[in-house]
Structure 1
Amino acid sequence: MAFSTLDIVLFAIYIVLTMVMGLWIGSRKRGGSESAADYFLADKSIPWWAVGGSLIASNISAEQMIGMSGSGYAVGMAIASYELMAAFALLIIAKYFLPIYINKGIYTMPQFLEQRFGHGVRTGLALFWIGLFVLVNITSVLYLGALAIRTMLGIPLLYGIIGLAIYSAAFSILGGLRTVVWSEVVQVIVLIFGGFMASYLVLNQVSDGEGFFAGLNTLVEKAPEKFDMILDKSNPEYINLPGISVLIGGLWIANLYYWGNNQYIIQRALAAKNIKEAQRGMAFAGFLKVLLPIIVVVPGIAAYVLGADIIKPDEAFPWVLSNYVTAGFKGIVFAALVAAVGSSVSAMVNSTSTIFTLDIYKNYLTKDPSDKNLVRVGKIASTLALVIGTALAPTLSSLDQAFQYIQEYTGFISPGVVVVFLFGMFWKKASNRAALWVVILSIPLSAAIKFLAPDFPFMDRMGVCFLVLAAILVAISYIDNGKENDVNAIKLSKDIFKTGWVFNFASLVILIILAFVYIKFW
């Protein structure tokens, strides 16, 4: 790809300024020292707009801009259900999950599980999460970002992975969550602007200069099959997006897990000033989610309509950037892509560090550690997570659609996690032993179904696993507790779930938008 001098200058300025900002924020200490609360939860000082922006910056990464555009090329707008249904899930989690988490005063998801179910469940899922973040999430995002850099600049894959890891380290290691969040606020602005610019320019090309909306209409006219939101069984991509399951089936498991039980996402809401700020931040993130298909899916469909000369779908976004984004804007869009990778990797690294330090190291590897010691261990854990992810990322080069890979293998653990959290929060009879068995059986059950029925859609597999694991939890809980409530059951009142008018109005608007989209493109 030919970058103009202006592109290179704009990109270099962005990279240098964001790294300097990250290092500067990370080097600042309140009162001359850094507490564990500050490093891992930003001292609970984040306002709603930063919560929402940080959630989206953590979420949008190369797996969306590259991977989801690739799926847009191969599948079409149906892949946008991951974004649209996430907006709905954010509202559910903000109203019903967050009040419980914040009232409990927790730092990590495993910490909540210990309060409800004991050490065994906490430790088991802490280890699962650390493995998932490092072996799947960090690794795949570094690979996809480096793939884009190789396609656009010709830089070898390994060098791109190392460069992205160093860039992410500026935000994730030195200053903890505070550095990550405030860096992401800047990055999400560049990311959304750059993403919209890429979509506008390619749609303008599709419409022969008639503009953005004319380009969208042209896509619908030339590739109507790419705008089916609900796929039927005759569609070759049905195995990845199995029809109505995207509305009432397994996609809910994926979304509840990702937005409600996933440490590197929910950690932003836990760091909010108070419950109202956290809920408004999640509603703000919901608004952004309904806009994201324009950034992360439309370029892939446009590449399909324009007859992109690519080998595999994940090359669609780099192809659009290379061929249809003009000088100057190309540097900004490329900066947006790097911002997406950097913010997501830094979020995952920080959360891996948080879980290891507070759930493994503090509980099993030391006695009465000081805040200084916890912060030091957190920084070491962050560094190791980045190093391992960097070493493993090149092994993913054989993937066709990396986004689907991430979703499928995350789906090995998500049904069990959602069962444990839902029943732990809202069913008072759920027992420690039942939750532990769900954790133990989650991966073997998913693997067994995949082995015995390889053509069974993984989204439906998540739904089946959820139902089976829920039945196991209920049965064992009745054996353990009979008609009595569990001794660690959470006491809930109706008042805890009351929300303000701002959140309620925002929720209504989001739901109306979602209803319109699915009715229009059913």
Structure 2
Amino acid sequence: MVTFLSFVVCTLLVAVISWYKTKSTNLKTIKGLFFAGKNNNYLIVASSLLLTNLSANQFIGENESVYINNMSVMAWGVTSVFAMLIVSEYFLPVYLRGGMITTADFLSLRYDSGTKQMVSIIFLLSYAVNLLPPVLYGGAVALTGMFNFQEIWGLSYWQCIWVMVWILGLIGGGYTILGGLRAISISDTLLSLGLLLLAILLPVFSLHHLGHGNILSGIKQLLSTHTDHLNAIGSANDAIPFGTIFTGMLLVNLYYWGVEQYIIQQTLAAKSLKEAQKGMALAALAKLFTPLLINLPGLIAVHLYTNVDNTAAIFPLLASDVLPNILQGVTVALLFGAAITTYNAGLHSSSTLFVMNIYLPFSKRKGVNLSDLKLIRISRRFEMLLSLIAMFSAPFILFVDSGFYTYLQRVAGLFSLPIFTIIVVGFFTKKVPPIAAKIGLLFFMLVYFLCEYVIQLQLHYLHVLAILFTLTVLLMLLIGKIYPLKQERKKYQFENTANLVAWQNRHWASLILLLMMVGIYLLFSPWGIAK
């Protein structure tokens, strides 16, 4: 009962504060609803980036991977720092200078409106298949494990997952539909403070439990036994072989932080380029500490549990065993909030893409002029439809044979890297025509699908992505050589909606962050604590 009450109090507190901070935002305009009035400072940007990135998927999936393999899975978070710094330096100025509403707007300017709409549809398919349902599923697994609803409700595990998916989906959908991006940003800021607290307390209580009441004894046991799990230098048999960091993972991270709509929309809501870059740097610093939050529980679980039938339940199992009841409730509230905030951001970005890139252009071609209020009503109806699709499909992820997190990343590659490839070519060339972008998209998606799900090459999917990226770039350049653009596309003519003065200290901050990234890898290696 104490656990449940603390969960309810924390969740309601975040909701009330978010409502209070949001009520002055005009949600009856596109700018107010979709971009929080473009008034977020670097703290809100950083918190939004971090919390939108963190969901129950990471808590569930990465701890499962650490338990099964080793610390190699931390590469997704730690090496993303390099990609975030590149995005901050080169991508953000382009987006903000162009006053872009979605990342697909760049494709319209560089190629044509058909490419923009094609990519918007791929984005929506990605969110409907590989973002919204997994976020609901991960949250349902965490909440079911923490509260032990099977015994409380007398339901099977499958039935509990269905119930929790729908609870998460209904609350998350309502939060997004009623509050817009500003409500999401405020709740992210509050939840980030809670996650910082959890990042400190959960390892402390876990080590205390491991050492039978002595934290130092717990640390000694963690560092002296099962040391193979401390190694982040993944072998060919691990979930993340070390070589993939320099091939497909780098590309995926660049896509995620620089192109993914529900992520980049958090930076587009900044009041200036300086605030956006500072926010990105602060979020990168937080990513360096995510192993303490996301991966350490999996390491400790290796010492506590020898046989676990459902390895996806490692994180909630550990938290429920080592935390006091009141902190269990707070942890559940944070997991609930992390699931909701990523779900909110994905749902919100989906409606932005649909309304601004598909519905509005279609209406204009038909000669129909739509007011902001009409567009907002359309966006909310679309969010309701997408929520229903996600809630009906999410529980079936339970039957996926491969590890949850590996499944997510493999499927994501089908949608993400083709889009990233044509954007990169668009950034660095002037003569590649729109037809090359369309052919490149279809070629990449088709060949990747065949390699992963039909032929099943004996090659890590991240290496496959890197090879296909190279082949698609060469294909697009070849088409550009044979059928070059006769006239260069127009320069960006959008109204300047942001202060474009860059953050002066960004290079020093980048150097420090990169040194810290290397230091963390040396720590979790055979030259460090994984001897």
Q: Same fold, TM exceeding 0.5?
A: yes
Displacement after TM superposition at 1:196 (Å): 3.2
User: Is 1:406 aligned to 2:408, yes or no?
Assistant: yes
The one-character-per-residue Cα deviations of 1:188-213 (angstroms, maximum 9, x if unpaired) are 222232243222211222234343x7
Which residue of structure 2 lines up, in the alignment, with residue 328 of structure 1?
326
Q: For residues 350-402 of structure 1, what are the alpha-carbon distances to aligned partners after superposition, in whole Å with 9 as ceiling and x for unaligned?
A: 01111011111111145321111111111111222211111111111113521
Within 5 Å, give how 1:159-198 maps onto structure 2: 159-198=163-202
Please tell me whether the aligned partners of residues 57 and 340 of structure 1 are also in contact (alpha carbons under 8 angstroms).
yes
- Show the counterpart of 1:389: 390
- Aligned residue for 2:374? 373
How far residue 121 of structure 1 moved from its aligned partner, in angstroms, is 1.1
Q: Which moved more, 1:53-62 or 1:147-156?
A: 147-156
CA contact (8 A) 1:429 1:486 kept: yes
Residue 243 of structure 1 aligns with which residue?
A: 242
Quote the Cα distance in structure 2 between the aligned partners of 1:304 and 1:459.
27
Query: Which has the higher mean CA deviation after the structures are superposed, 503-512 or 17-26?
Result: 17-26
Out of 434, 440, 445, the position equivalent to 2:436 is 434
Partner Cα distance (1:192, 1:214) in 2: 24
Deviation string, structure 1 residues 453-492 (Cα, Å, up to 9, x no partner): 343211111111111111111111112228x77334779x
User: Which residue of structure 2 aligns with residue 112 of structure 1?
Assistant: 106
Is the contact between residue 67 and residue 299 of structure 2 (CA under 8 Å) also seen in structure 1? Answer: yes
Q: Is the 8 A contact 1:198 1:333 kept in 2?
A: no
In structure 2, relative to structure 1, the CA distance for the partners of 1:360 and 1:198 (3 Å cut) is same
Q: Cα gap change, 1:486/1:449 in structure 2, threshold over 3 Å: closer, same or farther? A: farther
Q: How far 1:316 sits from its partner (Å)?
A: 0.7
**What amino acid maps onto 2:176 in structure 1?**
S
1:406 is displaced (CA, Å) by 0.9
Is the 2:84–2:257 contact (alpha carbons within 8 Å) kept by the matching residues of 1?
yes
User: What does residue 449 of structure 1 align with?
Assistant: 451
DSSP 3-state at the match of 2:325: coil
User: 5 Å matches for 1:218-229?
Assistant: 218-229=221-232
Q: After the TM superposition, which residues 28-39 of structure 1 pair with which residues of structure 2 at under 5 Å, given as runs?
A: 28-30=24-26, 34-39=28-33
Residues 466 and 16 (structure 1), Cα distance of their counterparts in 2 relative to 1, 3 Å cut: same
Alignment counterpart, residue 129 of structure 2, candidates 126, 135, 160: 135
Instruction: Give 3-state SS (helix, strand or coil) of 1:501's partner.
Output: coil
Q: Residue 283 of structure 1 corresponds to which residue in structure 2?
A: 281
- Cα shift readout 1:423-477 (whole Å, capped 9, x = no counterpart): 2122223321111111222210101222223432111111111111111111111
Structure 2 residue aligned with 1:65: 59
CA contact under 8 A between 2:97 and 2:500: conserved in structure 1?
Answer: no
What's the counterpart of residue 53 of structure 1?
A: 47
Equivalent position of 2:528 in the other structure: none
Contact 2:440 2:476 in 1 (8 A): yes
Q: Within 2, Cα distance between the matches of 1:269 and 1:217?
A: 42
- The code of the aligned residue for 2:521 comes to Y
The answer to whether the 8 Å contact 1:187/1:343 transfers is no
| Deviates further, 434-443 or 90-99 | 434-443
Q: Is the 8 A contact 1:446 1:461 kept in 2?
A: yes
| Cα distance in structure 1, aligned partners of 2:231 and 2:207 | 19
Aligned twin of 2:157: none
Q: Secondary structure at the match of 1:412?
A: helix
Distance in 2 (alpha carbons) for counterparts of 1:142 and 1:309: 26
Query: Aligned AA for 2:187?
Result: S
- The letter of the residue matching 1:509 is I
Q: Provide the C-alpha distance between the structure 1 equivalents of 2:148 and 2:325, rounded to a whole number of angstroms.
A: 18
Aligned to 2:473: 470
- Partner Cα separation in structure 2 for residue 335 and residue 308 of structure 1: 28
* Mapped partners of 1:87, 1:214: distance in 2: 33
Give a deviation string over 1:224-244, Cα, whole Å, max 9, x none: 2112222223x3x2xx31322
Contact map agreement 2:301 2:318 (CA 8 A) in 1: yes
Secondary structure at 2:242 match in 1: coil
Match of 2:351 in 1: 353
User: CA–CA distance in 2 between the matches of 1:486 and 1:196?
Assistant: 54
Match status 1:148 vs 2:142: yes
2:312 is matched by which residue type in structure 1? D
Query: Closer, same or farther in 2 for the Cα pair 1:220/1:431, shift >3 Å?
Result: farther
Q: Which residue of 2 aligns with 1:423?
A: 425
Number of the residue aligned with 2:89: 95
Q: Kindly report which structure 2 residues correspond to 1:456-495, keeping only aligned pairs within 5 A, or say none.
A: 456-481=459-484, 486-488=488-490
List gaps (5 residues or longer) in structure 2: 150-159, 494-498, 526-531
The alpha carbon displacement at 1:170 in A equals 3.7
Whole-angstrom CA distance in 1 between matches of 2:440 and 2:28: 38
| Pairing partner for 2:503 from 497, 500, 506 | 500
Alignment correspondent of 2:496: none
Gaps of 5+ in 1: none
1:205 aligned to 2:205?
no
User: Residue 465 of structure 2 aligns to which amino acid in structure 1?
Assistant: M
Q: What amino acid does structure 2 have at the position aligned with 1:162?
A: W
For the structure 1 residues 170 and 452, does the alpha-carbon distance in structure 2 shift closer, same or farther, using more than 3 Å as the test? same
Q: Secondary structure at the match of 1:311?
A: coil
From 498, 518, 521, the equivalent of 2:521 is 518
State the superposition RMSD in angstroms: 2.1
User: Partners in 1 of 2:33 and 2:128 — Cα distance?
Assistant: 20
Q: How far off is 1:167 after superposition?
A: 2.3
Deviation at 1:511, TM superposition (A): 0.8
What is aligned with 1:310? 308
| Aligned-partner residue type, residue 447 of structure 1 | F
How big is the shift at 1:303?
0.7
**Residue-pair matches, total:** 505
The amino acid that maps onto 1:427 is T
| Distance in 2 separating the partners of 1:245 and 1:330 | 36
Further displaced range: 351-360 or 438-447: 438-447
Q: Please list the CA deviations of residues 101-156 of structure 1 after superposition, one character each: whole Å capped at 9, or x if unmatched.
A: 10010111122211111112111111111111122111011011111222222331
State the Cα distance separating 1:80 from its structure 2 match.
0.3
TM-score normalised over the length of structure 1? 0.92
Q: Which amino acid aligns with 1:340?
A: A
